[in-house]
Amino acid sequence: MPLTTKERLAIAPQKMPELAPEVRSKTMDEVAIGYSAKEAKTEALRCLNCKKPGCIEGCPVRINIPSFIEKIANEDFQGAIDKIKETSLLPAVCGRVCPQEKQCQKKCIVGISLKDVEKSVAIGRLERFVADWERENGSVKIPEVKPNTGKKVAVVGSGPASLVVAADVRREGHSVTIFEAFHKLGGVMRYGIPEFRLPNSIVDKEIETLKKMGVEFKTNFVVGRTRKLADLIQKDKFDAVFVGTGAGLPLFMGIPGEDLNGVFSANEFLTRANLMRAYENIISPNREVETPSTPLWEGKQVAVLGGGNVAMDAARIAVRLGAEKVRIIYRRTAAEMPARAEEVHHAQEEGVEFCYLQNPNKILGDEKGFVKSLLIDRYKLGDPDEKGRPRPVKLEGESFELPVDTVLVAIGNSSNPLISQGTPELKTNKRGNIEISNPETNQTFMDKVFAGGDIVLGAATVILAMGEGRRAAFGINKFLEKQ
């Protein structure tokens, strides 16, 4: 007998099993452990399978959510993951890092009826469960690749947008080469998001699948420097190029003292910790690991400026590296903070202090040029700005000095100008993002060149980058078909 709506609504939301804060704050191990099959089935039974599923509307890649959840409830885990993969390439990643509470789960009728988005069906956790189940059971299928067409496509960057393009274009039988500036693949999923949120093994697995499909990878290859974009077309005879170079250029506050020792962009700090694995010296000094050659500043009194996911990641890495005190300094309040609710909650549990309605106006240094304190102004919320967020209004005469030895600036990223500067045919907007001439195909204003992800959107999310990649792949496949 199927459960009634009343019975489904009465099932308690299944909590995500997690490592205890005092254990996890000393390791890089993944914080969320994942549902068991029993927990996943119970959570799936909470779905009402409604006639007009708002969750699908809330998903940027329109996964058929009620259908995959119903399969979990029926213990058809293979069917569930197959359903997700009809529209999404990286479910193990998205299940972990998508801002579900602002997307699919926000529109879930269960959360709406219970008047609490946290009580919505845990769609992300269920997505992660089946993706992990597939990997752990060794049943990951390699997508079928059509016979070779003789056409060549270059993909610049190896973030989520590029991985989707590579898969979708390769499936059509075109040869694909990914050019990546770093020595490791995966983009922000590798160098930005720490392993305690997204283990590298997950990203490795996705890349392994692409390799098995015949995608080629060239690392340490900076397009714009190692080779010009135009040369990929004119000299190397690529029939089309996709640019997915992300938004890796950190923004700074523009206040005095940002050149002092001990001030870092969160991007640099995270790259040193994650990509260069500098944390291994500190967190596991006795473990037999290759000694990382990149040192990392071990701050004790750390201030992180900003309130997004990057700020949360930087703060939580600082905790793991042994900081005595880590503070997030944010000029609005918790309600306006852009970071995922779960990351904020985890950071709080790990001892990070949140200082709202505060913003520094100056970083002070000692006689040797090292950071010693921040001069901070206090704010209140004012009228809404053009995006509808209340404007922070400075309270005169309320400044104070906060002693710190490390400042991590996490106020946003913009696009790296390297490719666009050397390629005048590529149109960019005033923020340096590449402009698209056809939003259905992500074709740029340059012949044979397509673009997508953060380099087009500005710093966004993994799922939006993937959506862009899918559109660009559609555009490239259509373009090559006509050649």
Ligand X SMILES: Cc1cc2nc3c(=O)[nH]c(=O)nc-3n(C[C@H](O)[C@H](O)[C@H](O)COP(=O)(O)OP(=O)(O)OC[C@H]3O[C@@H](n4cnc5c(N)ncnc54)[C@H](O)[C@@H]3O)c2cc1C
Instruction: Give residues in contact with ligand X (CB under 6 A).
Output: 97-98, 156-162, 179-182, 187-188, 192-193, 222-224, 244-246, 248, 270, 309-310, 313, 340, 416, 418-419, 453-455, 460-463, 465
Neighbour tally for 39: CB within 10 Å: 18
Say how many Å lie between the first and final Cα of the chain, rounded: 56
- Per the listing, tokens 């044979």 go with 448
Find the Cα–Cα–Cα–Cα dihedral 83, 87, 88, 89, rounded to 10°.
Answer: 100
Nearer to ligand X, 299 or 308 (CB): 308
Q: Least separation, in Å, of the C-beta of 372 and ligand X? A: 27
Nearer to ligand X, 257 or 412 (CB): 412
Rounded Cα gap, residues 103 and 84, in angstroms: 16
Nearer to ligand X, 109 or 207 (CB): 207
Which residues are bridge partners to 365 per DSSP?
371
Rounded Cα gap, residues 90 and 167, in angstroms: 11
- Of 205, 245, 210, 242, the residue nearest 96 (C-alpha): 205
Rounded Cα gap, residues 128 and 32, in angstroms: 11
Q: Least separation, in Å, of the C-beta of 16 and ligand X? A: 15
Q: Least separation, in Å, of the C-beta of 381 and ligand X? A: 26
* Residue 268 C-beta-side C-alpha neighbours within 13 Å: 14
Q: Least separation, in Å, of the C-beta of 15 and ligand X? A: 20
Nearer to ligand X, 339 or 357 (CB): 339
Nearer to ligand X, 19 or 418 (CB): 418
Q: Least separation, in Å, of the C-beta of 273 and ligand X? A: 10
3-state secondary structure of 96: helix
Nearer to ligand X, 109 or 153 (CB): 153
- Report the phi/psi class of residue 75: left, alpha or beta, with left for phi > 0 and alpha for psi in -120 to 50: left
Rounded Cα gap, residues 398 and 413, in angstroms: 30
Rounded Cα gap, residues 375 and 316, in angstroms: 23
Q: Least separation, in Å, of the C-beta of 312 and ligand X? A: 8
Q: Least separation, in Å, of the C-beta of 391 and ligand X? A: 25
Nearer to ligand X, 48 or 462 (CB): 462
Nearer to ligand X, 44 or 304 (CB): 304
Q: Least separation, in Å, of the C-beta of 84 and ligand X? A: 16
Nearer to ligand X, 91 or 159 (CB): 159
Which residues are bridge partners to 354 per DSSP?
328
Question: CA 483, 178, 61, 43 torsion: positive or negative?
Answer: positive
**Do 343 and 311 meet the contact criterion of CB atoms below 8 Å apart?**
no
Find the Cα–Cα–Cα–Cα dihedral 456, 93, 173, 139, rounded to 10°.
Answer: -170
Rounded Cα gap, residues 379 and 171, in angstroms: 53
Nearer to ligand X, 82 or 101 (CB): 101
Q: How far is CA 375 from the centre of its chain?
A: 31
Q: Least separation, in Å, of the C-beta of 267 and ligand X? A: 6
Q: Least separation, in Å, of the C-beta of 432 and ligand X? A: 12
